[in-house]
Every structure is written in structure tokens, then in C-alpha cells.
Amino acid sequence: MVEKLHKIWVDGELVDWDDANVHLLTHSLHYGLGAFEGVRCYKREDGGSFIFRLNEHIGRLFDGCKMTLIQPKFTREQIMQACGDVIRANKLDECYLRPIVFIGAGDMGIYCPNNPVRAAVIAWRWGAYLGDQALKKGIRAKISSFARHHVNVSLAKGKIMGQYTGSVLAKREAKLAGYDEAILLDPQGYVSEGSGENLFIVKKGVLMTPDLSSSILEGITRDTILTLAREEGIPVHEGRLTRDQLWLADEAFFTGTAAEVTPIREVDNRTIGDGTVGPITRRLQERFFGIVKGTDTSHVEWLSRV
Ligand SMILES: Cc1ncc(COP(=O)(O)O)c(C=O)c1O
């Protein structure tokens, strides 16, 4: 259960945790239209707290609003400011942040153009999403019977609330079958992504991941890893991946704000490589954690001090 903190930013004000509620007629609760983000704030070696790639996350939040024709009442700068305010108000040094823009109560029905557009930023403490052991040893994944949405059925490039029913169903199916995470194929049968993560494989030294024209979220951690891989001189290929390419990969891993860089040691009972964390995964994991935790002083442009 999420540990109760003190304040949540709601529509421009810091309100008490227990008072941050919505009415049952909240439009987004019924119809799922709204955009959200997941952002992490890390405590670095020097003791300072920094939000990782805040600008890009809030940019994607506004992209989601643009695609759904939702006009937020607040600017990007105000939402970014709210992220810092929530961290300070709760005296947090590390946390996960959840900015959310949604349609409030008013009229009911599908078309309610006059309902208020509301915004909130919530912070909570969140350790390793798939567990500390997952980061060290890797996880077991299962290809889901649920496909990722066709690009014209959903807005793949947005973190749109209602779209996550597919992810929740896929995750439930995987967990009930004894696996840690689900991998979704796209409607054409190619590998897409995890329920809340992008997916990478390594084959013969080449780092591969589905390209952006596929039905994946344009992950900010994905972009981080691609940037770091290029810096490390690792050849990178963005393109279609088949299920058997995944099964036969030398290494595989997930990336995401919540999952960070989580190795995958098994897919559908096929061991990936030798079942341990491979050298390229390990190197990229080290670079990623080095930057967010402050032992690597590169890419300060990705960090916003709280
Ligand atoms: C479906 C999906 N894919 C990928 C990701 C990874 O994106 P990011 O690295 O920006 O957190 C997420 C998490 O936000 C997600 O929900």
C-alpha cells in the first residue's frame, strides 16, 4: 500500500493528503480520457535531490493532452513547479511523481466539452518496481495473450489513462501464471513492449528495440538508454522484432521510469542467454544508475534540482 504522506498538489494548491479526493461523477473515472506521467526524483551522492528528465516527462504529458484535445488550465512550467513543491511539502529526498490531467465532474455522457479540466501531482515513496532482486538477477516474463493496441485504436505515444486496461489485464495474466511481467505483441504479431516498460534485446553485440512507428510508448528511459549505448560505442538497431528473436536473444531487458533498467532472464520458459545479466545490460544499467545516483557526473542536463 502506498504510504500516506502529507500533501498533494490539486488544481494549483497543496491540499492535505486525505482531502485530495474526486467526485464519483468525475468524467475520466468513467471514460478513461486523461493523461498522466510517471517521473522519478533521486537522491544523489552529493546529498541533493534531482528530478530525472522532468522537462521531457511534462512535455509528454502535454503531448497526451494535445492528442486527446484536453486543454490543461496550467502551463508546463506550473506543473513542473508543482512537482518540486510536492516533493518539498512532503520533505522527500527520493520519490516517484505522478502528474495527472483529467476531466472532472459536470455533465455525463461521452461528449462533455464543458466539464472542468483538472490537474494533480502526487508523490509517493517507491523502491524498485519489480523488486531489488529483479534489478540484480533479472525477471521471468511471459508473452501475453493480450496484444498492444493498434496505432489507430489508441494513442500509443501518450500515457492515456484508459489505455492501461490492456496493461493491467496482461500483467494480471502474467502474474497469475507465475511470471513477473508481461510482454505484449503488436496487432501484427511483432514484439512491442512490457505492460509498463519498453523492451530491448542484445544479439551478437547489437542492441535492438522496436522502432517508434510501432505501437510503443516513446519511453524516456528508452531514449536515455539509446543515448548511453551510442556513447558506449554499442551498435543500435531500432526496428521490428519477432517473438523468436526475443527467445533467441543473448540478453534482454526492460526500461521504464518505474522499472528503471531491469534485466530479463527468461521469456516463456526459454532462458535468455545463459540466464545471468549480460555484459551490455550490466554496462547500461551501471551508466543509468551512475547518472541518477550521482556517481557519474555526465548528462547534468537531464537533472532538475529540487
Ligand atoms: C506502456 C509503457 N511503455 C513504456 C514505458 C516506459 O516509459 P518511460 O521510460 O518514459 O517511463 C511506460 C512507463 O511510463 C509505459 O507505461
Q: From the alpha carbon of 37, which atom of ligand 1 is closest?
A: 14
38 lines ligand 1 (CB under 6 A): yes
Which residues are CB-contacts of 81 (< 8 A; sequence separation ≥ 6)?
none
Would 7-124 and 132-293 be classified into the same CATH topology? Answer: no
Which of 88, 99, 110, 114 minimizes the C-alpha distance to 38? 99
- C-alpha 160 – ligand 1 centre gap (Å): 11
Which residues are CB-contacts of 166 (< 8 A; sequence separation ≥ 6)?
146, 147, 148, 149, 184
255 lines ligand 1 (CB under 6 A): yes
- C-alpha 5 – ligand 1 centre gap (Å): 25
- C-alpha 107 – ligand 1 centre gap (Å): 32
DSSP-assigned states of every residue in 191-256:
EEEESSSEEEEEETTEEEE--TTSS----HHHHHHHHHHHHTT--EEES---HHHHHT-SEEEEEE
pLDDT of 226? 98
Question: Which of 183, 186, 221 has the most ligand 1 atoms within 8 A of CB, as the residue to mutate?
Answer: 221
CA atoms within 13 A on the CB side of 156: 23
- C-alpha 197 – ligand 1 centre gap (Å): 5
DSSP-assigned states of every residue in 82-114:
HHHHHHHHTT-SSEEEEEEEEE-SSS-SS--TT
In three-state form (DSSP H/G/I as H, E/B as E, the rest C), the secondary structure along 172-203 is HHHHHCCCCEEEEECCCCCEEEECCCEEEEEE
Q: From the alpha carbon of 56, which atom of ligand 1 is closest?
A: 10
Catalytic residue among 43, 73, 136, 159: 159
Q: What is the pLDDT along the chain (306 residues), one digit of tens a residue?
A: 999 999 999 999 999 999 999 999 999 999 999 999 999 999 999 999 999 999 999 999 999 999 999 999 999 999 999 999 999 999 999 999 999 999 999 999 999 999 999 999 999 999 999 999 999 999 999 999 999 999 999 999 999 999 999 999 999 999 999 999 999 999 999 999 999 999 999 999 999 999 999 999 999 999 999 999 999 999 999 999 999 999 999 999 999 999 999 999 999 999 999 999 999 999 999 999 999 999 999 999 999 999
Which of 140, 138, 157 minimizes the C-alpha distance to 63? 157
Domain coordinates of the chain in residue numbers?
A: 7-124, 132-293
209 vs 271: CA distance, rounded Å:
19
198 lines ligand 1 (CB under 6 A): yes
The residue whose CA is least distant from atom 13 of ligand 1 is: 196
pLDDT of 139? 98
Q: What is the DSSP letter of 54?
A: H
Q: How many CB atoms lie within 10 A of CB 243?
A: 15
Class of domain 7-124: alpha beta
Domain 132-293 has CATH 3.20.10.10: yes
- 217 with 206: CB under 8 angstroms? no
The total number of residues written for the chain in this structure: 306
Question: Which of 36, 55, 63, 217 has the most ligand 1 atoms within 8 A of CB, as the residue to mutate?
Answer: 217
pLDDT of 1? 92
257 lines ligand 1 (CB under 6 A): yes
The residue whose CA is least distant from atom 7 of ligand 1 is: 219
132 vs 121: CA distance, rounded Å:
26
Q: Return the bridge partners of 13, or none.
A: 10
R_g of the chain computed on alpha carbons:
19
Q: Is 159 a catalytic residue?
A: yes
- C-alpha 23 – ligand 1 centre gap (Å): 28
Q: What is the DSSP letter of 149?
A: P
- Cell numbers given for 52: 530525472
- C-alpha 158 – ligand 1 centre gap (Å): 10
